[in-house]
């Protein structure tokens, strides 16, 4: 299903934006858009995502048959888990999940996930999984605080091998996710660097400092702060 049809481009503004265009014009479940570069890549909250040559920038289009909107946050973490495991298998590097949608390698961001969707009532009509991975990106092209797999290994990785493995494992995980999403929770907790750390977060325009103690069954970060327990949704901002 995923990757049966792949649109390959040398350059695009945003693979997620092109995915929206394909959905509007009529496309199949599981179509994928991949581009060598993005000129207007973006992350969560419309933040710029620098997407130069050497990276892996792609989007997956899905039309779920019966998916509740409150499961999308958990899906973002599952995508991060799949990426972490594939990178470890292919390179030996262990990337940690930073709630809610990033991968970090030795305290540097190397990947991000952006899920966009259209809802009908509380059901997901379609969704786009946008993925950015700093694979073979040169250090001088990266923004401050970002890293790349190439930078850590001191050599380039065969991009097509990583891409193919990600599509295969994403499909398996997506099927399992629809049947029993909670099976992923122990591994997500194990690989999440946010747990056990002090976190600064903003909620209801109030800035707080607390300790991340868990991820719940809906993918929310559980934080204790000032004697209260907060379950943070993915639109909460970790500062």
Total domains in the fold of the chain: 2
pLDDT class of 235 with cuts at 50, 70, 90: low
The pTM of the full predicted model, rounded to 2 decimals, is 0.95
Give which of 122, 128, 150 is closest to 52, Cα–Cα.
150
- On whether both 63 and 29 belong to a single domain, the answer is yes
- On whether both 212 and 94 belong to a single domain, the answer is no
- Mean pLDDT (the chain) is 94
Please enumerate in sequence order all residues whose Cβ is within 8 A of that of 43, keeping only pairs 6 or more positions apart, or say none. 49, 101, 112, 114, 132
Q: Is the pLDDT of residue 217 over 70?
A: yes
Rounded Cα distance, 82 and 74, in Å: 13
Q: Is 131 exposed, middle or buried (0-12, 13-18, 19+ CB in 10 A)?
A: buried
- On whether both 32 and 139 belong to a single domain, the answer is yes
pLDDT class of 237 with cuts at 50, 70, 90: low
Rounded Cα distance, 85 and 68, in Å: 26
Residue 227, by phi and psi: left (phi above 0), alpha (psi -120 to 50) or beta? left
Kindly state the average pLDDT of the residues 59-77: 94
Whether the CB-CB separation of 50 and 148 falls below 8 Å is answered with no
Residue 1 forms part of a structural domain: no
Q: Give per-residue pLDDT as tens, 175-185.
A: 999 999 899 99
Residue 48 forms part of a structural domain: yes
- On whether both 203 and 109 belong to a single domain, the answer is no
- On whether both 81 and 60 belong to a single domain, the answer is yes
pLDDT class of 30 with cuts at 50, 70, 90: very high
Host domain of residue 116:
6-191
Kindly state the average pLDDT of the residues 74-101: 96
Residue 19 forms part of a structural domain: yes
pLDDT class of 233 with cuts at 50, 70, 90: confident
- On whether both 103 and 48 belong to a single domain, the answer is yes
Q: Give per-residue pLDDT as tens, 100-155.
A: 989 999 999 999 999 999 999 889 999 999 999 999 999 999 999 999 999 999 99
- Domain of 227: which CATH number? 2.30.30
What H or E segment, with its residue span, contains residue 189?
helix 185-191
Radius of gyration of the chain (CA): 17
- What's the gap between Cα 152 and its chain centre? 20
Return the pLDDT at 238: 67
- On whether both 11 and 53 belong to a single domain, the answer is yes
Rounded Cα distance, 212 and 195, in Å: 5
Give which of 232, 233, 218 is closest to 74, Cα–Cα.
218
- On whether both 122 and 203 belong to a single domain, the answer is no
Return the pLDDT at 199: 86
- On whether both 51 and 125 belong to a single domain, the answer is yes
Please enumerate in sequence order all residues whose Cβ is within 8 A of that of 58, keeping only pairs 6 or more positions apart, or say none. 15, 32, 33, 34, 35, 130, 131, 163
Q: Give per-residue pLDDT as tens, 32-46.
A: 999 999 999 988 777
Return the pLDDT at 239: 60
């Amino acid at each position: 299903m995923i990757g049966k049809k792949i649109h390959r481009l040398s350059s695009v503004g945003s693979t997620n934006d092109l995915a929206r265009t394909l959905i509007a014009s009529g496309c199949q479940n599981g179509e994928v858009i991949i581009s060598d570069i993005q000129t207007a890549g973006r992350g969560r909250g419309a933040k710029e995502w620098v997407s130069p040559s050497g990276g892996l920038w792609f989007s997956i289009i899905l039309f779920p048959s019966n998916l509740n909107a409150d499961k999308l946050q958990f899906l973002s973490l599952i995508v991060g888990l799949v990426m972490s495991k594939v990178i470890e298998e292919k390179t030996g590097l262990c990337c940690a999940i930073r709630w809610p949608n990033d991968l970090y390698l030795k305290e540097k961001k190397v990947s991000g996930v952006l899920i966009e969707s259209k809802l009908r009532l509380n059901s997901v009509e379609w969704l786009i999984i946008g993925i950015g991975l700093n694979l073979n990106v040169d250090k001088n092209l990266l923004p401050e605080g970002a890293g790349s797999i190439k930078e850590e290994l001191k050599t380039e990785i065969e991009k097509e091998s990583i891409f193919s493995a990600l599509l295969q494992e994403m499909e398996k995980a997506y099927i399992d996710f629809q049947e029993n999403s909670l099976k992923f929770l122990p591994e997500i907790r194990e690989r999440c660097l946010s747990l056990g750390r002090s976190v600064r977060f903003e909620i209801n325009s109030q800035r707080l400092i607390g300790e991340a103690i868990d991820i719940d069954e809906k993918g929310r970060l559980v934080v204790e702060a000032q004697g209260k327990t907060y379950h943070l949704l993915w639109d909460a901002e970790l500062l």
